[in-house]
Amino acid sequence: MGMNTLRRYYHRHPSVCCQQIIIHELKDHVNSIDPNIEFTIEEPGEDGGVPFLDTYCVINDGSIDTRVYRKPTHTDLYLNWDSHHPLSAKISVVNTLFYRAEIVCSNQLALSQEHAHLREVLTINGYPPWAIQKGINLIRRRPSRQGNTDKPKKEFNGYIVVPYVHGFSEKYKRILENAGVRVYFKGVNTLKSQLVSPKDKDPKEKKANCIYGISCGEVACSAKYIGESGRTLEERIKDHTSQASSALHQHMTVTGHPIPTVMDDNIQVITTESNIAKRRIIEAMYIKVNDPSMNRNVGKSEIPDIYDNVLKTKGGLQLNDSFRHIPSRKNRRHCDSSMDLTAVSDN
């Protein structure tokens, strides 16, 4: 009997199958069809219950009692209270766990046991009693499935996504939302940004979506140029050296200084950004802070002068002659050419 025939037969005659075929023989048969696919059976426990997703079901006097189910490998580790996340995210952890208990537990005993377990676990994860209680109170405010029309939703004129900074973002959000702008927070330091990329790094000349710097190849010349391109650095440098309208080409023609190639050390990738709007803002910030002499304009995105002091003192955008970032006087942290300026461009 083939797999398709077996599946159609079981679908049309489930009661016959259960009566005529022993369940373990059925499992052995379907597992023998394809060695790459293995089926398992969840057998009832000592109390006659079986887990289904996050619910443990027990047949009791013709009815089904349910409670929250956790695998034996479950660690009870949730978002720690001391983690750098918005308060709303931490309260949502509490609210979600207790709301699940309310909808899964079918009797008061199971609900009381789940509440006690959650309070103990959340306390271990650093949650104070007031935060736990606040999350529980929010359950009562959840609208019913039919919808709660008593309190109209606040309408916003737009929204903005900004990095979360503890102690500042809460006030920032309150001010903007009072002005009709919805604020969403995003994390900057994610696992993806911290873990080493499994891919091989592209060589300098093959990097695209980059902000790059070019310094004149003549030792005695201090002329520099900062630009951005969505194409590879190799293609962009060819444009600079071949097009007569290019500022770099004109500098080399007038001065007679050597024409650079993409492999030269005086051409470097400062940082990369795939979003074109962000990339142009970052380019304009580097131009404003470093004032390269070969640039004939401020870039494709103009940065208002009101930001000058902040960018030049706290932006971390100062570059040395090799287009490496100069650590700020305040923290002296090393910044290499791969630094992420997404947070800066979002503000």
Looking at residue 149, what is its pLDDT? 52
Partners of 68 in beta bridges: 55
- Residue at 152 is within a domain: no
What value does the mean pLDDT take over residues 132-144? 79
Tell me the HSE value of 61 on the side-chain side, using a 13 A CA sphere: 0
Q: Which tokens sit at 231?
A: 């194409």
Q: Are residues 175 and 247 in the same domain?
A: no
3-state secondary structure (DSSP) of residue 82: coil
- In whole numbers, what is the pLDDT of the chain averaged over residues? 80
260 and 210 co-located in one domain = yes
195 in a structural domain: no
Residue carrying structure tokens 């770099």: 248
Question: How many structural domains does the chain have?
Answer: 4
User: Does one domain contain both 31 and 52?
Assistant: no
Q: Specify the pLDDT at position 162.
A: 85
In a domain, 199, yes or no: no
Shared domain for 257 and 329, answered yes or no, is: yes
Structural domain includes residue 193: no
Q: Tell me whether residue 194 is in a domain.
A: no
Over range 27-54, report the average pLDDT: 84
Are 94 and 223 found together in one domain?
Answer: no
Q: d(Cα 78, Cα 76) in Å, to the nearest integer?
A: 6
Euclidean distance between CA atoms 186 and 165, whole angstroms: 10
pLDDT per residue as tens digits for the range 177-228:
888 899 888 877 777 777 766 677 888 889 999 999 998 888 888 899 999 9
251 and 312 belong to one structural domain: yes
**What is the spatial distance between Cα 325 and Cα 342, in angstroms, rounded to a whole number?**
16
Among 25, 41, 57, identify where a domain stops. 41
The pLDDT tens digits of the residues spanning 99-108 come to 999 999 999 9
Asked, for residue 149, whether it belongs to a domain, the answer is: no
- Supply the range of the domain harboring residue 295: 205-346
How far apart are alpha carbons 269 and 231 in whole angstroms?
A: 13
* 140 shares its domain with 259: no
Residues 267 and 316 in one domain: yes
Residues contacting 6, CB < 8 A, separation 6+: 29, 30
| Rounded distance between C-alpha atoms, residue 314 and residue 328, angstroms | 7
Domain membership of residue 1 (yes or no) is yes
Instruction: Provide the phi-psi class of 285: left if phi over 0, else alpha when psi is between -120 and 50, else beta.
Output: alpha
Considering the domain architecture, whether residues 133 and 168 belong to the same structural domain is answered as no
pLDDT, tens digit (0-9, with 9 covering 90-100), for 284-314: 988 988 889 999 888 888 888 888 887 777 6
Whether residue 134 is found in the same domain as residue 256: no
Task: Say what percent of the chain tops pLDDT 90.
Answer: 26
88/133 same-domain check = yes
pLDDT of residue 9: 45
- Contact between 42 and 50 under an 8 Å Cβ cutoff? The reply is yes
Verify that 311 and 268 share a domain, yes or no. Answer: yes
Domain assignment present for 192:
no
91, 80 Cβ separation under 8 angstroms: no
Tell me the per-residue pLDDT of 309-344, one tens digit each, with 9 for 90 and over. Answer: 877 776 567 787 777 766 544 433 333 333 333 333
